[in-house]
Amino acid sequence: MSVSTQDVLLMQLQSSGITVADSGDILKNGGARDARDKFDRPTVKSNSLILHSVTGNQITLVSNFGDKDYLKEHLNAQFDGETKRWVIGINYFKKAIRLFKHVTVKASVRATKEQQLAKIEQQAADEAAERARLVWDGVLPQDMQAKHVVLYAYQNAGVNFLLKYKTTVLGFAVGLGKTPTAIAAANVLLDQKEVSRVLIIAPNSVKFQWASEIAKFSGRTAVVLDNSTPVRLKKAFEAAQIADYVILHYEMLRSAKYKTQITALAVNAVVIADEAHKVKNYKAQQTQAFQTLTNDRKYMWLLTATPFPNAQPQETYTMLSHVHPIGSWLDFGRKYVVFERGYRGARVPVRLRNHKSLRNEMQDTVILRQHNSPDVQISLPSTRYVTQELSMSAEQCKIYDAMASDLMHKLDAMDSTTYRQNAANVLAQMKRLEQIANDVDLLEDEATVDMDRLSVKEEWAVNVISDHLEDAENRGIVVFAESKLVLRKINKALINQGLDASQIGTISGEVAPEKRTKIVSDFGTGAIRVVLSTSAGEEGINLQTGGHTMIHMDQPWVPKSITQREGRILRSGQPSEFTLFYSPLMAGTVEFYKRSKIMFKVGEIEKLLGQGAAGSVAENINETGAAWTLDELKDMLRR
């Protein structure tokens, strides 16, 4: 698929607020806002910028006097005493557009930038031809980059690792660029005709985003196997026969009717599994279908920010067995797993051991990079965490205490053996206690719920969001909750307070991928001010350009979920100097104890993968804790 330099330029601006005037000028949010300075000379308003002209490798700006310190700090701007204007290097072109709200790029500046992109395209074509003459030995030459993208040093190391070891895990933290790294490596294989195509398996929510990223980073053809209608899918399978990249979603692996066609597409292909922790459960039909499809593949790359999301022994073994001849579960268990006796004397795997030895065995299989890794030079904003302790209402306390008392009586009648036998039922009742602490209506049929009646936590969240939006300088805010009812109540309350419904975007499993993409785009431009999301939004959406503030309405059990949530705004390209995360917690309830449990999982992950491997969750939750025992559960219920 051919991409023009003009199209590439507009894609690189990465904002749907970009338009092109009849004059050829590029306008962001309508262009720079005119103003007069104190000497009545023409200038622009604050947060407006004109990229006026190009001389050599410098762009002359028209800017507001009050923005001079910001220009110096973020764009390395210098003051030209002759023209009395600030100038920046042409390499700051995209960043200048991203940082200012209202921007005008004069046609002459745009033309110069397009000429540069034309040169980049030609250089990329020349490099591809050169690679075709090389005898590939598994290492990407240092001076060869993917089209339209320059990789960081650690990303080049990732490309080299994928090509050298062939079946691997690319474990880059959220925001470090797993996608462009994998595309760069895949392009080398395609150029060398080592593979016929690239088969990408991704969550349904991000399949079209992958197609966009492939176009942006390589210019090659990408076909999405869209099974929303039989006609679309038939056409997609036909187009996939000659495509360089083919994208499908995990759910398609479970369908027998697609198996033959997908298996044919995987022949002589490099298989890339995005968000690969989705194939960690060896009992799941999806995991078994994935293993069948990828068995004996020469090239297979698992992409995930959380290779071992729970640090559970069986999941760790399954993930490694996808890409590494690690032996049987019995052999793995003898070397690396601590077992305890469970129901009827069964051996139950509880945690990993011999972490150093296991890390050594993984060194040719898993490449990890965290934001604190020595070769990662990307500057991320600082993080601020606010834990707000709230008290339940009288109604909540009454219901909570009654259910907690009932559960306590059941636990008093158990010993450690019967507790393990009934663990699932106990955890289900604990979940109900957590629901009561958040909103008693979660126990009811939603059709009977008064949507105007807010819980203590929901009312607090609505007030925080409203206060945030009252400040015109604040960008958007993101709210995560496991319950759609909680999000619907917040949505209605915000509308009742005067926020236009069009300024609220909701992401859940029912929202089509195309609509999610539109919500993300509108959030980035400011058309949407509030994004309300279930766990469906934890992966594959980038919200950093739209806001730097997030509210966790609940505490997920899995550390990965918190890290993935926060990674939507805590990532490269975040223009704010800090990100802010709120965690409202109901005092004396199971939420506080969940944080201890999550921190125990964080400790296990970091023992295996190194400090920082669990991501931002380790900063958000700083208490210490261990696995729950029967006595600890009883203590928790004594409010």
CB atoms within 10 A of CB 389: 11
pLDDT digits over 221-278, tens only? Answer: 789 998 878 888 998 899 899 899 999 999 999 888 999 999 999 999 999 999 888 8
For the range 314-318, what are the long-range contacts, defined as Cβ-Cβ under 8 Å and sequence gap of 24 or more?
A: 314/282, 314/349, 315/280, 315/281, 316/352, 316/608, 317/282, 318/279, 318/280, 318/281, 318/282, 318/287
> CATH 3.40.50.10810 region(s) of the chain?
134-309
Residue 624 has pLDDT above 70, yes or no: no
573 Cβ contact partners less than 8 Å away, ≥ 6 residues apart: 98, 542, 544, 545
What size, in residues, is the chain? Answer: 639
Q: The pTM is what?
A: 0.58
Are the C-beta atoms of residues 600 and 626 closer than 8 Å to each other?
yes
CA distance 578 to 252: 40
More confident residue, 534 or 152: 534
Q: Name the fold adopted by 382-637.
A: Rossmann fold (3.40.50)
pLDDT of amino acid 440: 93
If DSSP codes are grouped into helix, strand and coil, which group holds residue 637?
helix
> Of residues 419 and 278, which shows the higher confidence score?
278
For 504-563, how does the pLDDT look when each residue is reduced to its tens digit (9 = 90+)? 999 998 888 888 889 999 999 999 999 999 988 888 788 999 999 999 998 876 666 788
* CA 358 to each of CA 170, 334, 497: distance values in angstroms, whole numbers, following the listed order: 17, 12, 55
Would you place residue 10 in the very low, low, confident or very high pLDDT band (cuts 50, 70, 90)?
Answer: very low
User: With the CA atoms of 278, 280, 282 and 284 taken in that order, what torsion angle do they form, in degrees rounded to the nearest 10?
Assistant: -20
Position 493 pLDDT exceeds 70: yes
* 24 vs 97: CA distance, rounded Å: 16
How far apart, in whole angstroms, are the C-alpha atoms of residue 288 and residue 314? 14
Q: Where in the chain is the domain with CATH 3.40.50.300?
A: 382-637
Q: What's the CATH class of domain 134-309?
A: alpha beta
pLDDT band for 586, please (50, 70, 90 cuts). confident
The pLDDT assigned to 523 comes to: 94
- Average pLDDT over the chain, rounded to an integer: 81
Do 137 and 166 touch, CB atoms closer than 8 A? Answer: no
Q: Which amino acid is at 238?
A: E
pLDDT in tens, 431-487: 888 899 899 999 888 889 999 999 999 999 999 999 899 887 789 999 999 999 999
